[in-house]
Chain A
Amino acid sequence: MNELTSLSVAEMRRGLLSKQFSCAELVDAHLMRIEETNEVLNSFITIASDSARKAAAQADEAILRDADATPPLTGIPVAVKDMLVTKDIETTCASQMLKGFIPPYQCTAVARMCKQGGIIVGKTNLDEFAMGASNENSSFGPVRNPWDTKRVPGGSSGGSAVAVSAGQAPLALGTDTGGSIRQPASLTGVVGMKPTYGRVSRFGAVAFASSLDQIGPFARSVEDLAFLLQAISGKDENDSTSVSEPVPSFSEAIEKGSNDGLKGVRVGVPKEYFIEGMDSAVEEAVRKSLSELEEMGATLVEVSLPHTELAIPTYYILNPAEASSNLARYDGVRYGLREPAKNLREMYAKTRAKGFGPEVKRRIMIGTYVLSAGYYDAYYLKAQQIRTLIINDFKAAFANDCDVIAAPVSPSTAFAIGEKTDSPLQMYLADVFTCPINLAGLPGMSVPCGQDSNGLPIGLQFIGKPFDEASLLRCGQAYFKQSNFDIRAMAKKSSSEFAI
């Protein structure tokens, strides 16, 4: 039934090169899967059928000409979070503010993915401007979790996570500002990584909180994830904060994980990441996977990240501060929504009142407040100082005790749609184990590590030293290889079985 849409990227590549199926067939199968399931899952805002079919035809020609010369992602469908600017394809950020906006330029990460042969099948749903942890803050409606369609997929990159989980695409790009890749990956049972800040260019990622935002990949295997990460990493002249740190061969890290296990790897376990209030199923699953890591040769080391409890308040000052500034440009003057008005001030007010949803407005107001004269020192500046303490926590742990850190991703499994929408604070707490990693600029990856009593997926988070994505891939691959979690379960599920 879903033969083509549940394959791994490596399997797709083999099938394409050996002419078992064509790129056109592969892309069509995915477009059909999207069509069949999107009404329920609502994971795509825009489906790029025409451009995808055209790209598939070109990819088939390239394979016909010289199959071995084609780049590794040739013909592979990729879902792109609608937070990434795509040339000639509508980019909305799930906001009424940008509805109808067709960018004249391409996001660097998307361009690099396409250069390696990847094909954009569509733009995925998200929390408006990536503000949220449940994908309910989308002006295009909530995304549903394929494991239980009454539940959220997490957010903000919920659409990308679901696309990969449900076999709408084997790979997806998302953005992660406080957990927006790792948390939905955890809640939908796929692999997702936030690379080190600076590893992937932010050019063309619509800015949310610039010092925290990072583009990253989703996949149904650690190996597949490495393919996409390889394609998008590296310095970009258009982003001053991207770093010229050499990009290693990530397939070597995968090989190492497959062959050498975790012998000699010191895995730090931060005691502050097992807190009261987290689901016991999550704690159990994570603790169990820690002992499995030990069985594979890793040494577990207890580490302390003493400023962890300050991460959420710090994050929710810096994030809105930067967001309020980044969203100032949506003023109705040059593009996007413009509401008619009698004068300029009224046009600004009406346009922004109508264009932005409640969570976006909330962050703009908080951010504006913490940056105002008289409050800047008490909030923004103080938060920056605490951010330094959080960075130093990780530095100390990595300098003295461990090579990677293992921790939970989300304190809970997928919650019900509507369960937390009345309490922004409850929603913010979903970021408790992920946002410190953004504050510290480190790489973090979520790998499925079990299920709760309802069968909902649970993620294990690996956190690495700056620019040491390779160690995360090695650990992730070693763990994933021996895991019996069925990561293809939702991709294999027949489309008709998805219902609300």
Chain B
Amino acid sequence: MSSSEKPIEAVIGLEVHCQLSTDSKIFATSSTAAGEKPNSLTDPVTLGLPGCLPVLNKKVVEYAIKLGLATHCEIQRESVFARKHYLYPDLPKGYQISQYEKPICLDGHVSVRLKDGVKRIGITRIHLEEDAGKSSHVDDEAISVVDLNRAGVPLVEIVSEPDIRSSEEAGAYMRLLRQTVRYLDISDGNLEEGSLRCDANISVRYEGEEKFGTKVEVKNINSFRYVEKAIDYEIERQSEMLRNGEAISQETRLWDEAKGKTRSMRSKEFAEDYRYFPDPDLLPLMVETDWIESIKEALPELPDQMFERFKSMYGLDDYNADVLTQESLVARYYDQAVSVHGNPSALANWMGTELFGRLNKEGKTIEDCPVSPENLADLVRLIDEEVISGKIAKKVFDEMFSSGARPEAIVEQQGLRQITDESAILAIVEQVLEANPQQLEAYKSGKDKMFGFFVGQVMKQSEGKANPQLVNKLLKEKLT
């Protein structure tokens, strides 16, 4: 087989930075809020004023431990903060406090669901560090401005093993991380706003080879779509070079979304020497086993566990279980609704179609959903108890969504209760047949289709309130 035909595989490892949603910064007291006036959320420590010292925020450690436990890492009893040096105006101290040789979490893994099964992706390490500020360059003026509000915001960096083989796997892995940090309530996991940032290490090799190819780091891939596009582009670029026998150079490349390409940022020779050394201002971080245990006990149900439980407990299929467990608040909503009215499949359908449809349309999330899980459950119960029809239920739902009212109240107020009185329906049936002699003739001459027409007319006359089974039954009796 010639080299041009040999199949090529990609080897990918991801480094994901995730902003933790603590109230204050990792080593200082000022707030981590976003969208505030530039440089308003600073203090002497954040500004790197002379003589200031970092003091570790304990909440940040708790959040990192939560994430470590959720990703099956070994939480290290002792970890060490180190200084990573580089000069840039948005880095106030001239170094970033990070963890280097001794991170807080080691040796974990997650399992991602793919089209053709479940894949385990190893987590090499998770470490704590501080974010830098933000530099912007003012057009038409020879100045740059720096906003240090983000400086010192806590981050975890999650480094995966080179277990990922495709953009699909990378996307699934990113989604799972996002889902997990949101379940743990330690980050908003928002890629577009930079709460989650991804760098990818990508290399290619002929299948079956054991040695890794030369890796290229791709930065600036800040949406799920970019992750997949950038990886696909880079795999293609490198595969072509491999086939042509060209040497791939170790370098850092940037994803340029506008051009849909990666471009070289710096080569290995110009790589920074960060001169890491343990930060003498911070003692080694010692974590008591008891504390780890108490965090473990308080961990919420995680996406995988929730997915399996929804399938086994509620009999949901993979699709519905997946949709309902994407967000923990959605899953909790569903759990709550099912506990009020035990029709899991109908509730899953209502949430998957009507509820999500309306939320999307209104740009709302489950958090500010006007329909409570109790009310949605009541609505489904009204259908199941034949108080209203499915069709009327949609109307009631619209009303519930606009006013937040209880379904019973809407049904009573607007007189939407289903008509189950046979004589009342019979009267409408007779009226409809009488008013449509031509269609009646047609039906009698063998056009069975006309039956549906009559059902529709009766429903219309009853403003949708007639019980459909009774309408069917009475029409059949009348027409035979």
C-alpha gap A371/B277 in the complex (Å)? 7
Q: Is B49 close to A, CB under 8 A? A: yes
- Nearest-CB distance from B150 to chain A (Å)? 15
Least CB separation from B274: chain A residue? A373
Residues of A within 8 A of B52 (CB): 105, 203-204
Q: Are B282 and A240 in contact (CB under 8 A)?
A: yes
Q: Are B93 and A329 in contact (CB under 8 A)?
A: yes
CB-defined contacts of B44 to chain A, threshold 8 Å: 103-105
Q: Does B92 contact A (CB under 8 A)?
A: yes
Asked if A211 is at the interface (CB within 8 A of a chain B CB), the reply is yes
Q: Which residues from chain A contact B410 at a C-beta distance below 8 Å?
A: none
Mask for B60-99, Cβ within 8 A of A = 1, else 0? 0000000000000000000000010101010011110000
For window 304-336 of B, CB contacts with A under 8 Å fall at: none
Q: Is A85 an interface residue (CB 8 A)?
A: yes
Whether A85 touches B93, Cβ cut-off 8 Å, given contacts A322-B280, A325-B85, A325-B275, is no
Are B49's CB and A105's CB within 8 A? yes
Instruction: Give every chain B residue within 8 A of A241 (Cβ-Cβ).
Output: 53, 280-283
Residue-wise interface mask of B (263-275) relative to A, using a CB-CB cutoff of 8 A (1 in contact, 0 not) = 0000000000101
Task: Give B271's nearest chain A residue, CB to CB.
Answer: A373
- Name the residue of chain A whose CB is nearest to the CB of B48: A329
A365 located at the interface, meaning its Cβ lies under 8 Å from any Cβ of chain B in the complex: no
Which residues of chain A (143-164) have a CB below 8 Å from chain B? Answer: none
Task: Verify A203–B51 contact, CB threshold 8 A.
Answer: yes
Q: Which residues of A contact B146 (CB under 8 A)?
A: 333
A105 to B48, CA, bound (A): 12
Residue of B nearest to A368 (CB): B275
Q: What CA separation (Å) do A368 and B276 show in the bound complex?
A: 11
Residues of B within 8 A of A376 (CB): 275-277
The complex places the Cα of A239 from the Cα of B44 at a distance, in Å, of 13
List residues of chain B with CB within 8 A of the CB of A204.
51-52
- Could you tell me the distance between the alpha carbons of A348 and B53 in the complex, rounded to whole angstroms? 23
Residue pair B87, A240 in contact (C-beta under 8 Å): no
> Given A328-B94, A329-B94 in contact, is the A211-B51 Cβ separation under 8 Å?
no
* Chain B positions within 8 Å of A202 at CB level: 51, 53
**Contacting residues of chain B (97-131) with chain A, CB-CB under 8 angstroms:** none
Measured between alpha carbons, how far is A321 from B277 in the docked complex, in Å? 9
Tell whether A328 pairs with B93 under 8 Å between CB atoms, given A240-B56, A380-B277. yes
Question: Chain B, 18-59, contact with A by CB distance < 8 Å: what is the 0/1 string?
Answer: 000000000000000000000000001001111111111000
Are the CB atoms of B50 and A206 closer together than 8 Å?
yes
CA A380 to CA B85, docked complex, whole Å: 15
Contact flag A107-B281 (CB < 8 Å), given A333-B146, A344-B89: no
Pick from B50, B87, B89, B94: contact of A91, CB below 8 A: B50
Q: Are A348 and B87 in contact (CB under 8 A)?
A: yes
Q: Mark A97-131, 1 if CB is under 8 A from B, else 0.
A: 01001011101000000000000000000000000
A84 in complex: contacting residue of B51, B56, B87, B280, CB < 8 Å: B51
Which listed residue, A207, A240, A328, touches B85 by the CB 8 Å rule?
A328
Tell me how far the C-beta of A239 lies from the nearest C-beta in chain B, rounded to whole angstroms.
Answer: 5
Q: Are B92 and A334 in contact (CB under 8 A)?
A: yes
Residues of chain A within 8 A (CB-CB) of B93 are 328-329
Q: Is the CB of A328 within 8 A of B95?
A: yes
A378 to chain B, nearest CB (A): 14
**Chain B CB within 8 A of A259 CB:** no
**Across the interface, do B53 and A203 meet the contact criterion of CB distance under 8 Å?**
yes
B50 touches A210 (CB 8 A): no
The listed residue (A240, A324, A333, A344) touching B53 by CB distance below 8 A is A240
* B280–A210 CB distance below 8 A: yes
Q: Which of A329-357 contact B (CB under 8 A)?
A: 329, 331, 333-335, 344, 348
Are A206 and B275 CB-contacts (below 8 A) given A331-B87, A333-B89?
no
Q: Which residues of A contact B275 (CB under 8 A)?
A: 324-325, 368, 371-373, 376
User: Cβ of A94 < 8 Å from any Cβ of B?
Assistant: no
Residue from A101, A238, A335 with most neighbouring chain B CB atoms (10 Å): A238
Measured CB to CB, the nearest residue on chain B to A335 is B49
Q: Looking at the assembled complex, report how far the CB atom of A249 sits from the nearest CB atom of chain B, in whole angstroms.
A: 28
A93 beta carbon closer than 8 Å to chain B: yes
Closest to B50 in A: A206
Instruction: Please state if A239 and B49 are interface contacts (CB–CB under 8 Å).
Output: no
User: B50, B56, B283: which contacts A103 (Cβ < 8 A)?
Assistant: B50
Question: Which B residues are CB-close (under 8 A) to A292?
Answer: none
Closest to A209 in B: B280
**Do residues A98 and B85 form an inter-chain contact, with CB atoms below 8 A?**
no
Contact of B53 with A325 in the complex, beta carbons under 8 Å: no
Q: Is A27 an interface residue (CB 8 A)?
A: no
Residues of B within 8 A of A206 (CB): 50-51
CB distance from B90 to the nearest CB of A (A): 9
Q: Do A238 and B281 have beta carbons less than 8 Å apart?
A: no
A240, B51: Cβ atoms closer than 8 Å = no
| Cβ A238 vs Cβ B277 within 8 A | no
Judging by beta carbons under 8 Å apart, are A372 and B273 in contact? yes
In the bound complex, do residue B51 and residue A329 qualify as a contact, i.e. CB atoms below 8 Å apart?
Answer: no
Contact B55 A238 (CB under 8 A): yes
Q: Can you name the residue of chain B whose Cβ is closest to the Cβ of A84?
A: B51
A237 in contact (CB, < 8 A): yes
A303 to B83, CA, bound (A): 38
Q: Closest Cβ of chain A: how far from B47's Cβ, in Å?
A: 6
Least CB distance from B100 to A in Å reads 11
Contact of A101 among B50, B55, B276 (CB under 8 A): B50
> Considering the complex, which residues of chain A in the window 301-325 have a beta carbon less than 8 Å from any beta carbon of chain B?
321-322, 324-325
Q: Is A205 an interface residue (CB 8 A)?
A: yes
Beyond known contacts A240-B53, A241-B283: 7 more, CB 8 A cutoff: A103-B50, A104-B44, A325-B277, A331-B89, A334-B48, A344-B89, A371-B275
**10 tightest Cβ-Cβ pairs between the two chains A and B:** A328-B94, A211-B280, A210-B280, A371-B275, A206-B50, A85-B51, A204-B51, A329-B48, A333-B89, A206-B51
Question: Could you list 17 examples of A-B contacts with CB < 8 Å?
Answer: A104-B49, A107-B51, A203-B52, A210-B280, A210-B281, A240-B53, A240-B54, A321-B277, A325-B277, A328-B85, A329-B48, A333-B146, A334-B48, A368-B275, A372-B273, A372-B275, A380-B277
